[in-house]
Amino acid sequence: MQKNIVSLKIEEIKGDSMDIIEKDGHMTLRMKSGFDAHAHFRELDQLFFTVPYSARQFACAVAMPNTFEPLTCVRVVILYQRSAEKYGQENDQSFRVIVPIYLTDEITPMIMRTAHAAGICVAKLYPMGATTQSHKGVTAIEKLFPVLSVMQDLDMILSVHCEVTDANVDFFDRERVFIHRHLSVIAQKFPSLRIIIEHVSTKDAVQFVMDASDRIAATITPQHIMLNRNHLFMGGLQPHNFCFPIINSAEDQMMVSRAIFHRRFFLGTDSAPHGKYQKYYDGKGGCFTSPYALELYAHAFEKLGALEILEDFSAIRGPDFYGFAPSENMVQLTRAEGIIAQERAIGAHTMAVPFLSGHMLNWRYDAAS
Ligand code: NCD
Ligand code: ZN
């Protein structure tokens, strides 16, 4: 029988180091430095600009491998990981980057064993054509079964972009159909495989995770709890709210918002910067959330009455699922209004528009210590 998520009890492991301090009318929030389980840093000179946005706010980030030439080979994954980490460490010496290997139709069990031996603990599944730089993605999930079997044996993590690309499927149903058509099959065939459903956007995906075993978790972006599909069109077409999976109905938004209380859902910004002209002319999907990531989550969590689980969501559950210790570093936010900038640089000659630019947020990120 299906559990009704509305009646689910709050299942939480509260971070024990978090403090919400009110003094002389000022409110501050001190908590462990977080883990961004899903970010896009892009490549080459862009790393110099994009990685520090994350390194300033987080102790660790999982940098997705959908670069211009996707990171499908072990050596390239390692080089990219070192390079991204170096740019972050100019900001904070302890900053860590994890890079998944990009799954293609050509990947073999032997390559996966080599990846594991080289320290790669996660692989990313993009269905071909689902999103930015997914042209090398997987065409038929069944082709991956021998590789998934090895990943299960090695206790690696499968990180999944859950959307079908079938032109006959309604755009707003892409995630639901993927969950029912493909993910349920993978989960049944590989019951011990650790799986992360990236950027959950529908009640079906939330329900699937809640009904699943502890081996299955999901990441949540700020945009999927702050917006619903009306925000794609209100006041004219809103390109900076367009991302994959698309922001869905108000009911889906409500279910994703409730999921923040459940211990198998954790922070993954899916910060996906595109130059502003690429957004306008090529219609690229992706919300650029990294410069204001913690402020966005704090703002949204406060509205949901969930401020006191922010540390758990951002710094404990993600590392726990990956099998890492949480960071020892602390970050601080102050309750103070601030306006999101119109543009931030993501390259020497490329500006991108941050998610919710021009809007007011109730929290300001102060510092790490
Ligand atoms: C991401 C990107 O631009 O790389 N876009 C997005 O809309 N989220 C890719 C992705 O995570 O789907
Ligand atoms: Zn992404």
Residue type for 50, please?
T
The average pLDDT across 78-100 equals: 95
Ligand 1 centre from 160 Cα, in Å?
Answer: 12
- Which residue among 42, 220, 270, 355 is best mutated to probe the pocket of ligand 1, counting the most ligand atoms within 8 A of its Cβ? 270
Please state, rounded to an integer, the average pLDDT across all residues of the chain: 94
- pLDDT at position 223 over 90: yes
- pLDDT at position 12 over 50: no
Ligand 2 centre from 59 Cα, in Å?
Answer: 19
Helix axes 203-211, 250-259, angle to 10 degrees: 30
For 305: left if phi > 0, alpha if psi spans -120 to 50, otherwise beta; the answer is left
Peptide bond into 245 cis (omega under 30): yes
CB of 284 closer than 8 Å to CB of 274: yes
The average pLDDT across 230-247 equals: 97
- pLDDT at position 108 over 80: yes
Three-class secondary structure of residue 61 per DSSP = strand
> Residue 17: what pLDDT?
84
Give every strand in the sheet of 101-102, ordered side by side. Answer: 101-102, 122-125, 157-160, 194-197, 216-220, 265-267
- Which residue among 36, 38, 40 is best mutated to probe the pocket of ligand 1, counting the most ligand atoms within 8 A of its Cβ? 40
| Residue owning the nearest CA to atom 6 of ligand 1 | 286
Is 132 close to ligand 1, i.e. is its CB under 6 Å away?
Answer: yes
The average pLDDT across 211-238 equals: 98
Where residue 5 falls among pLDDT bands split at 50, 70, 90? very low
> Residue 247: what pLDDT?
98
Q: Quick check: is 270 catalytic?
A: yes
> Residue 346: what pLDDT?
98
Count CB-CB contacts under 10 A for residue 229.
17
**109-156 pLDDT, tens digit each:** 999 999 999 999 999 999 999 988 999 999 999 999 999 999 999 999
Interatomic CA distance for residues 224 and 55, integer angstroms: 23
The average pLDDT across 186-190 equals: 98
Ligand 1 centre from 129 Cα, in Å?
Answer: 12
Set out the domains of the chain in order of their start, with CATH numbers.
Answer: 5-368 (3.20.20.140)
Ligand 2 centre from 199 Cα, in Å?
Answer: 7
Ligand 1 nearest-atom number relative to CA 244: 7
- pLDDT at position 6 over 50: no
Is 286 close to ligand 1, i.e. is its CB under 6 Å away?
Answer: yes
Lowest mean pLDDT among 3-12, 43-52, 142-151: 3-12
CB of 246 closer than 8 Å to CB of 199: no
**What is the percentage of the chain residues whose pLDDT exceeds 90?**
91
Ligand 1 nearest-atom number relative to CA 130: 12
Lowest mean pLDDT among 44-53, 74-83, 89-98: 89-98
The closest ligand to the CA of 346 turns out to be 1
The closest ligand to the CA of 201 turns out to be 1
The average pLDDT across 167-192 equals: 98
Contacts of 6 (CB under 8 A, 6+ apart): 258
Interatomic CA distance for residues 216 and 302, integer angstroms: 27
Ligand 1 nearest-atom number relative to CA 38: 11
> Residue 368: what pLDDT?
65
Instruction: Report every protein residue that has its C-beta within 5 angstroms of ion ligand 2.
Output: 270
Here the tokens at position 80 are: 């990219």
The average pLDDT across 94-109 equals: 97
Lowest mean pLDDT among 18-32, 140-154, 162-176, 207-221: 18-32
Ligand 1 centre from 50 Cα, in Å?
Answer: 15
